[in-house]
A and B are shown apart, each in its own frame.
Chain A
Amino acid sequence: MSPYFKYILGKLKWYVLIFFAALFLNFFLPRLIPGNPISALVAQMAGGGASSDVLNKLYNSYIHEFGLDHPWYVQFIDYVVKVFHGDLGTSFSLYPTKVNTILAQALPWTIALQVPSILLGWILGNILGALAAYKKGKFDGTLFPITLFVSSIPYFCFAIILLYLFGVILNILPIGGGYSMALTPTFSIVFLTDALKHYLLPFLSLLLVIIGGQAIGMREMSIYELNTDYVRYAKLLGVSDKKIIRYVFKNAMLPQITGLSISLGTMVGGALITEIVFSYPGIGTWLFNAIRQQDYPLIQGGTLVITISVLLANFLIDIVYGIVDPRIRASQLEE
């Protein structure tokens, strides 16, 4: 077995373990919210005038329908079995809509918002950070305080500031939603420009915060690398700055890759909250509503999708890291 394959396999073991732990938490955490979701649902369904007998009947039939009359371990096993069959259950609050259907609608919005902002933010942040370290002087003096400021604001706070500035005061961008209420999602020019307008603010608010955080880390790392002995030695052998910068950039990037895998969860979490601020029709907004209505299956489904995507992204980062850092491969050989 190649050492690299062994490295991947060793990592995979952990990911499977984490997945099961997450599955467990996904199931139990929503159930710790005080209150009874079915009572609320029944009251909503029956309206004001129903007799208590009817209400009771309705209540019992829902309890049975959702399997809430079984002991918790039966419910849990049932949930796990269904998950492995790709069935996330039926939503309480939007009964009888399937959770799968809701998430399938929400997921593209979340992916479209998060993947570009995280990736682009990471890349731009690293380039800016490295440039600041290399150029020093005015460039660094201007960039560093700005990035420090931007990165220390919580995601939602920055989102609210942008929303207030561009949506309310300047009134040039819509304040919420994924597209205008009057339109239906199609691939027409009208719809796409409208969606893009709605996209701009949540995207920017995420992008800028991520750039800030990454640039600070990369700047530190690059300053450290620029002062290492190997840089000095290379200079003393007459190696050009261009090549030395390449060494420094690569070596400073390595911890940034780990940094990405560590902060990915926070970034995704922040992005979900940003969705709520802008009522963006992604998983974050759905999850928020589901929590308010104690919609167990929808909460479970939402958190499961998030867990799986964060784990997958982390796994990909691990694979890449093993390729780019020879020391990681070597340490696997020794084990």
Chain B
Amino acid sequence: MCDTANKNIYLPYLTTVEEVIDETPDVRTLRLVFQDPQLSENFTFRSGQFAEYSAFGAGEATFCIASSPTRKGYIECSFRSVGRVTEELRRLEVGDTMGVRGPYGNSFPIEEFFGKNMVFVAGGIALPPLRTLICNCLDQRDKFGDITIVYGARTEADLVYKRELKEWQERADVRLVKTVDPGGDGPEWDGMVGFVPTILGEAAPSAENTIALVCGPPIMIKFTLPVLEKLGFTDEQVYTTLENRMKCGLGKCGRCNVGNVYVCKDGPVFTAQQIKAMPMEF
């Protein structure tokens, strides 16, 4: 988005942590505001794009931008603390400085989805890459037909964005089907019990004039694609985002490739048709 001619492409922008939200015991969302007011004003991205987030001293980690480009003045990222960098990012407090490089990669072709029904299918920590698009769609609600969200996690506690789930549940123009794995429900649980692919099959959204967007662990995607097929979705109607270990995010460092496809440049958003053409290397 910025003029990068003769610039250091590895230099992050500086942001301030404006809000820290604990989604689950180990998943945290950070709301970030660019320190340069002009950049804060002009920073644009598209749903589906990702960034490299710096914990100075530990390095960089790759996540999608989880907020919607329709909500300006900040960006959000959500991550599980599992590695060196994410452990450090977790230690950041409101007011602390964090580095961000991006936005990188392709995006969901949202304009092509105008006038269509949308079915979002996500599992666990994989809701953030779809949440940017869900919020984007909801902020221009009249441009879309029916919106269905099927979201599941192992247990009630593992569901991310609980505030938004509540909001989506209360909206008359959104159908939220939330589920937890058998045994993951508590006494207060008001959703379904069962694995995401099964629950998706039972919810049975129509494939007619519909786009399906799937994001989750590889095993969930593997079992979800046949369900969608059975519901009548073609591979061109199904989108997903891939995640691979990355360093540069710029198509140079050579590690995120799946066959000859660079996730950082050719992705992270792919149709099921593109995914099926790839070797099993993700």
Q: Do A and B come from one complex?
A: no
Residues of B within 8 A of A (CB): none
